[in-house]
Structure 1
Amino acid sequence: MRRWIKRALSAVLFLGLVALLIFAFLPKPVEVETAPVAQGPFAQAVEEEGMTRVRERYLISAPLAGQLLRIQLEAGDSVKRGDVLAAMIPAAPPLLDVRTERELQERLGAAEAERLRARAGVERAQAALAQAQSDLERARQLAEEGLVSAAEREQRELTVTLRTRELEAAQFESQVAEHQVDLARAALIRAKQGAGAGERLEIRSPVNGKVLRILQESERVVSLGTPLLEIADPADLEVVVDVLTTDAVDIRSGMPARIVRYGGEAPLEGRVRRVEPSAFTKISALGVEEQRVNVVIDLTSPRERWETLGDGYRVEAQIFVFTKEDALKVPSGALFREGDRWAAFTLLDGRARKRTVEVERRSGAEAMIEGGLSAGEEVIVYPSDAVKEGVKVKPG
């Protein structure tokens, strides 16, 4: 009996040891990170750095040659239309020669031509605003009847806001052009009358705004056309973003944009006004030549949300070139190339299963797909070389 018991125990120990060895050499499941395939809103955006700038700025220059008196204003001071910006004592030329008179007449002619252009711009802006208001009224009526979506009505309202700002900018230009004509005409009359030395000439502001820069602060002799100071309306800001030309081909006027990392807490909303027609070469941080083009964005968020922004502030912009409310999307890290197609690993019954997927668009951390996966399935994110078809895996 004892011998039989010893043999039985030996057999059990042997079988246990064999089982332990088999278990030790069995392949262990690979730990992986997983994420679900989701159904929801998807947005593809072009993200680049940019800066703010005032839409319209006016450079105040000397209307005549003479002695500029010290400018008392400082950068940031508010001015109203008609306020004295600077004063100077014109030089009294002994005689008005033909060349000087021709230059003054040409300056007056150029100012009058600019005034005509500015007036035409105001008329165009007024017509565009009237059309936008008419479209908005029609959209509101159709929305009440359920024939137009709320999103389309909001788009019409935004268009009216943008056209209003364009009209304000055109009126600003027109005021500046009128002021330029007055200055040029006054300069020509003074020269013809031979104004004497010591007579004080005051240079007044053509518009309401703020002083951006003082270019000639100290008293000194200046020539005709010398820049003195720069004024603008800081409440009329736009954002300029330079993007790669390969990205710019997808950007259109009216596309939504978002301004982030500008110093404020909440992102600001905006709308693309235009893509400038001419590109330029820029050297990247890695020393690579890039072809870029400027995209101009209007801020559509309420003024009180960005009133601390000024001219030349650095921002980051996201321009949404594609949006879809009900898209099938996966993390970009779950996708990998297999030949000329995209593929992903799913987690099914504890094993990795390879699936071919149709990727429509990619945007940062997400990709929109059209087929190959279903909402709710678990995909393996950033699969290692150990993850292959049929390999046991477990979420880490």
Structure 2
Amino acid sequence: MGRRLAGRGKWIALTGALVVAGGAVGMWTLVRPDASAATTTTVTATATVGTIRQSVSATGTLAPAQRSDLSFQVSGTVTTVSVSVGDKVAKGATLATVDDTELQAAVDSAQAGVDAAEDQVDSASGSSSAQVASADAQLAAAKSTLSRAKESLAEATLTSPIAGTVAAVDIAAGDTVGSTGGTGGTGTSTGTPTAQVVVISTNAWVVDASVGASDLASVKKGLQVEITPDGSNQKVFGTVRSVGVMASTGSSGSATFPVTIAVTGTPTGLYAGGTVTAAIVVKQVDDVLTVPSAAISSEGDATYVTVTKDGQQTRTKVVVGAVYGARTEITSGLTEGAQVVVRQLQLPQGGAGATERQRGTQGEFPGGGQFPGGGQAPGGQAPGAGQ
């Protein structure tokens, strides 16, 4: 990954190949036991055309896009708990029930009240308008009582409003529950203090992240994000859903601002509460010809690279553009695919008695091999060069 530019982000070269003769590009120290005759080894790299991205790095926590904290809204004794943590449930699935004997009796009583009120209305027909109005009012009240009784009976069954996975169960058969969601019994709590059952979606995720004040202006809604879960090589993608404007202050005393990232697609292997690293792409430049910055030399106002072809080296004047981490843009004087000299190493003849010791980093990317693939990640807005 490229070095941070002016404290504002990271430049990442996404395409191209780095060809290394004798090892990866880096800083090298030659250790010789004597002054024997030396041979020259040339380290070269390829001028490549690709996409360059500048990103703001943020850490965050995975959360389900949907979460339902569920509790009984009626009092009673729990008769069944149909799910355990980790179970997958469909929308409308029964999770638990309470004893509904009294609730069913209340419905029967309310129904009897409605029947009686209807009889009163029939009897009042032909009577005074006041008697008819009174009978109608009694019927309306009886129907309202019946409706509430039926609602309470339905609430004796706890159902899931979403399709997802059971994340917590805090009730057990035999527990007494109150209408405010409290429990008394042996249920084991693994979720929030009040929820008796928690169901989360596992096919849609968000990342709750934060950025510093210096990066806030460049982070916009709709920007693409590359997300790497902690301890995983898997990359998932997302877009910035919202950027908060109210700061919070951590233990270090520095202000950070909340950023919510919506994960695109339906990736697997994600877990609620997991830590991720997010690279928010704030600028993108396409079709850029670059070479390693170490391949460039200057003389006065002129800039040069040394091109090697068929064993011959030619010093070539070039015009440089922007610097992207460990690589520099070439705007003229060089073509894609050209082999440029990065540095030359003096080695003892036959290599006997000498070692190469690498220090520092291996240029822009570890391993000196193929750069990561370019192009746009699924979903989100790819910022243009003009941003």
TM-score, reference length from structure 1: 0.47
Higher helix share: 1
TM-score, reference length from structure 2: 0.47
